[in-house]
Structure formats: structure tokens, C-alpha cells
Amino acid sequence: MPSATYAITGGTGFVGSQLLKELLEAGHLVIHIGRQNSLVNHPNLKWVQADLGSAFNVTEELRGVSAVFHLAARAHVMRETAKNSEELYRQMNTEATRMLAEQAANAKVKHFVFLSSVKAVGEESSRFAWRENTQPAPPDIYGVTKLEAEKSLKEICGSSSMTFTILRSPLVYGPGVRANFLSLIKAVDNGIPLPFGRTKNRRSIVARKNLTSALRMCADNPNAKNKTYFVSDPHPLSTAQLIKAVARALGKRPLLIPFPVFLLKALGVVTFKSAQVNRLTNNLELDISAIQRELGWKHPQSTADALRETAAWYRSLQNEGQTDQRQISNK
């Protein structure tokens, strides 16, 4: 018999698909709420079709659920093209969270676990690592709407019997990663010179399995009730250290150019890419002692192991591509 019933949004996403898998492997009954069905076929998995980007009502489907994992969101978009982007962010991140939390509270769900973002606080930690009491100053509409969602959730739980846990995550990596992290892997693998040999910044990142471990613990640990936590791998890395670690995982030698950081920033201004340069040269360090101390959370995967797993996935993609190319050539 399933040991608990959980609901999850974002179950087809990068983090959500891993969390969904882990919940099912643990023997839980899982209700996946979203526009698309999960590719997982499991007797303990039920799909509830709902478009969180518009009006929806899943109150009845949430009755009997122990906890909701809310991971669905409109993620940070590097090259925004939508004319109504602010409206889209607010609908998907702020309003969808508010509506889901209200419906969960009305359905008497006991606990609501919300995956927020470090962007709800800001983008640069300066000299000191951020703690949970750091004053938020979100830099963009993504961060603003994540912070709005956090506030809405707290208000709803404050006027109901439902409790919450908010996890603020930095960049997540692991098998299946896309966007900038995948671009970095490709650059290192192809031996492209990278001008970060002198960067000594401190940035926190989190392996996907470490994040899902923390999410599951927040649903089950009574000490997590009505708390907000930062979560990351235990040790921050400079951009240069990350590149070296990725290279080791790939079995490559990194080509790091000792380019002065102040010149990198100047080039960022000239090329209108200051935001990208700052993300690679500034600090974004998180203090995760609270979740470790209060919940007893321990990361199940080291950064080195997680990068090796990611590198193996990347190699498998390459092998699949080569196989496909050979099949095309043979036709």
C-alpha cells in the first residue's frame, strides 16, 4: 500500500521529473497536475490535466493529499521575446501559486512545499553568504514574481490549517540539464578557451538529486513547518573551479585564460552583456546551515559525483547522435 499521497506540479520538468520518480520509487501515490501527462507509466501515478497558466480548479482532486510539491513555474528567460512577458510571469508564478495554495487549503491538504528561487532574494551576495533573514531585493520580474508567490503562500497558510515550506534554490544541474550549464559543458568538451582563469568568486549551485532530497525531507519533517530555507551543494565554487570540475568529469583539460576580471566586466558593458558576465564573475553564496541543523538534511550526492553523472549523460547524447548520423549515412 502507498505510504502517503502527494500532489506535484511541474512533474515533466527538469527537477520535477526526478522528484516524481523518487516519490514513486518510495511507494507513494502521486497525483501529477499539469497540462501534459508524465511519460512515466506507474500504477501509483494519476494525471490531473490542468493549465496552471490560466484559471483552474483542482480542489476535489487534492482531497486526501498529504502534501503538495509546487514546482511548476515560468523560468528565468535569458532572451525574452514575449511582449507580455511580465503578465506571463505573474500569471504562472504568482497567481498560479496563489490559486493552487488556496485550493489545497480548501481541500485540507496538510502541507505545501514550494520550490522558489534564490532570485527571490537577489543575484549577488557580495562579501557574505546569504542567510534566510537576508533582505530580499529581486533583480527582475522572475525574482519579483517568485517573492510574490512566497508572500501569497504565507498569507494563505496563516489563515488556514495548512503549513508550508519554501526552498530557495540556485542553479540546478544534473543529467538532462539545458541552457547555460549545457553550453558550458559543450565549451569545455570542445576545448574552447574560456577567459575565467582569474575569477575567484564564490557561487553556490545544487545537484538535482540534492535538491529533490531536500524537497522530500521538507514534506516529511515536522521541523520544516512554516520555514524558508536556502538549499545548495555544501561548497560554493568559483567559475574557474567549476570549469575545472566539469573538465575532470569529462576527462578533459580545461583551457582557462587568465583574463583580468575588470576587463571582462568592461567588455560586458561594451557588448551589452553585463548581466551574463556578472553571473560568471560575482558572488552568489548561500549559507545552508539552517536546513542542515534544523532538519538534519545531508546532501546525498557530492558535486564531483553529480558532475560525473552529468558528464556520462552528456556522453550518451553524443553517442546517440553519432548512431543516428551513421544510420542516416547508411540509408
- Reduced to 3 states, what is the DSSP secondary structure of residue 329? helix
| Alpha carbons 207 and 200: distance in angstroms, whole number | 21
Question: Active site includes 89?
Answer: no
Contacts of residue 69, defined as CB under 8 A and 6 or more positions apart, other chains included, come to 6, 7, 8, 9, 16, 19, 113, 115, 215, 219
- Contact assessment for residue 160 and residue 220, using Cβ atoms and an 8 Å cutoff: no
| Alpha carbons 304 and 193: distance in angstroms, whole number | 22
| Alpha carbons 55 and 36: distance in angstroms, whole number | 16
State how far Cα 73 lies from the chain centre: 10
- Contact assessment for residue 131 and residue 193, using Cβ atoms and an 8 Å cutoff: no
- Reduced to 3 states, what is the DSSP secondary structure of residue 7? strand
Which of 142, 173, 229, 314 is catalytic? The answer is 142
- Residues with catalytic function: 142
